[in-house]
């Protein structure tokens, strides 16, 4: 049975969608990568079809097939969370139901982007998606992409829904996180790698990471150190990860740079889909320096 305090596990990665050189989804590569992350990368969960999975350019049919492939590969030993959020409530409901039909263990539902709903609109949107299936829901609060933050009072009301159980936070407002944790039983997950330690220190239970593709065991060590109250060890682990954070999240686009990192490690990734572009040779050179500085042998 899942731990109610951390319903999606401790260490999850927002998994890339591997593509072949002709741009089609590489299902075998996705299964290989998922198995690597779970069996050798210390992950107890994966998010499929999230932003790092380039979901805006992956069709609904492709997303369903990809989710099925990952579930077949690791669904018996890891929590597989399906990205289901869009800026259209009806479309989000359709995606949520499709994910439930193929066996997803939970849903990640992002704040609707571009159309800038009010807080009342967010309540209606998230509630409708949560009502549409029996799956537990992780809200994704990321105003740098959505423009609209989920207000604390809105989160308090959403926490009353029996299936809204967690938040992936990329808002960067530790005051809001602290108030929400004080007023709800929502499980918080860090959705911004550079703030992993800070969010864990104020009460987050885990991470949904991008850099986890290449440093999953050290993220597990970070979470364990904070949970044990060993902040000296936690700071040391976090400090060792700073070059990796900088290389993957600091200068370029996350999906682009983590695909370059996976390629350097000989793991499935493939190219990005437009409008994303692949890292340049110069960017790859700097990335490799950062990864080595962060203790990743290449």
- Cite the annotated binding site for pyruvate by residue number: 52, 208
Can you state the angle between helices 60-74 and 89-102, rounded to 10 degrees?
30
Measured CA distances, 278 to 248, 252, 258, 264, 284 (Å) = 13, 10, 10, 13, 10
Residue 82 host element (H or E): strand 79-83
CA proximity to 270, closest of 21, 58, 101:
21
Which residue numbers are catalytic?
140, 168
- Binding-site residues, in ranges, read 52, 208
Contact residues for 262 (Cβ-Cβ < 8 A; gap 6+): 16, 33, 213, 214, 268, 269
Cis omega (within 30 of 0) on the bond before 275? yes
CA–CA separation, 19 vs 270, rounded Å? 5
Measured CA distances, 57 to 23, 151, 297 (Å) = 11, 29, 32
Write the DSSP string, 35-57: HHHHHTS--SEEEESSTTTTGGG
Q: Is 92 exposed, middle or buried (0-12, 13-18, 19+ CB in 10 A)?
A: buried
CA–CA separation, 237 vs 290, rounded Å? 16
CB atoms < 10 A from the CB of 90, how many?
11
**Are 89 and 129 within 8 A, CB to CB?**
yes
């Amino acid at each position: 049975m899942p731990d109610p305090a951390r319903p999606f596990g401790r260490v999850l990665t927002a998994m890339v969608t591997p593509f072949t050189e002709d741009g089609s989804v590489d299902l075998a590569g996705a299964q290989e990568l998922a198995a690597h992350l779970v069996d050798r990368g210390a992950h107890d969960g994966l998010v499929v079809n999230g932003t790092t999975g380039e979901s805006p350019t992956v069709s609904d049919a492709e997303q369903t097939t990809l989710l099925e492939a990952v579930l077949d590969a690791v669904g018996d030993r890891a929590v597989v969370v399906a990205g289901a959020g869009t800026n259209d409530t009806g479309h989000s409901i359709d995606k949520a139901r499709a994910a439930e039909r193929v066996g997803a263990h939970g849903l990640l539902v992002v704040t609707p982007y571009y159309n800038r709903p009010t807080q009342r609109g967010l309540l209606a949107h998230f509630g409708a998606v949560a009502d549409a299936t029996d799956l537990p829901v992780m809200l994704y609060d990321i105003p740098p992409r959505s423009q609209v933050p989920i207000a604390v009072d809105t989160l308090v009301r959403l926490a009353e829904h029996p299936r809204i159980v967690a938040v992936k936070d990329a808002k960067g407002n530790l005051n809001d996180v602290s108030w929400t944790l004080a007023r709800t039983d929502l499980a918080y997950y860090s959705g911004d790698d550079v703030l992993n330690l800070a969010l864990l220190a104020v009460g987050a239970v885990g991470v949904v990471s991008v850099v986890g593709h290449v440093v999953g065991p050290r993220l597990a060590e970070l979470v364990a150190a904070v949970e044990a109250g060993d902040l000296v060890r936690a700071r040391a682990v976090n400090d060792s990860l700073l070059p990796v954070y900088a290389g993957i999240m600091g200068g370029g686009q996350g999906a682009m740079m983590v695909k370059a990192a996976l390629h350097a490690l000989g793991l499935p990734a493939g190219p990005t889909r437009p409008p994303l572009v692949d890292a340049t040779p110069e960017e790859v050179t700097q990335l490799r320096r950062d990864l080595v500085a962060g203790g990743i042998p290449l």
